[in-house]
C-alpha cells in the first residue's frame, strides 16, 4: 500500500511539474511551504496562549 501511495505521489508531482519541470524541486517547494505554514501557525498559537 505504501508503495502504491508513493508511486501516486511521484506521478502527481511529475504531472504538476510539467514537461520541462523538475518534480524534486516542486516537492521541495511544497514541503518548505508546509513547514513555513506550520511555523506561522505555531507562532500564532503561542501568541494567543501568552495573551
**Does the structure show a pLDDT above 90 at 34?**
yes
Specify the number of domains making up the chain. Answer: 1
Taking the model in full, what pTM does it have?
A: 0.65
- Looking at residue 42, its pLDDT comes to 97
Distance in angstroms (rounded) separating the CA atoms of residues 7 and 14? 11
Q: What share of the chain in percent tops pLDDT 70?
A: 100
Q: How many residues does the chain have?
A: 51
Please say if the pLDDT value at position 51 is more than 80: no
| 23 band by pLDDT with thresholds 50, 70 and 90 | confident
Note the pLDDT tens digit of each residue in 35-46: 999 999 999 999
Amino acid at each position: 500500500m505504501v508503495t502504491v501511495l508513493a508511486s501516486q505521489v511521484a506521478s502527481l508531482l511529475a504531472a504538476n511539474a510539467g514537461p520541462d519541470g523538475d518534480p524534486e524541486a516542486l516537492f521541495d517547494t511544497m514541503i518548505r511551504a508546509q513547514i513555513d505554514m506550520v511555523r506561522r501557525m505555531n507562532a500564532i498559537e503561542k501568541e494567543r496562549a501568552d495573551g
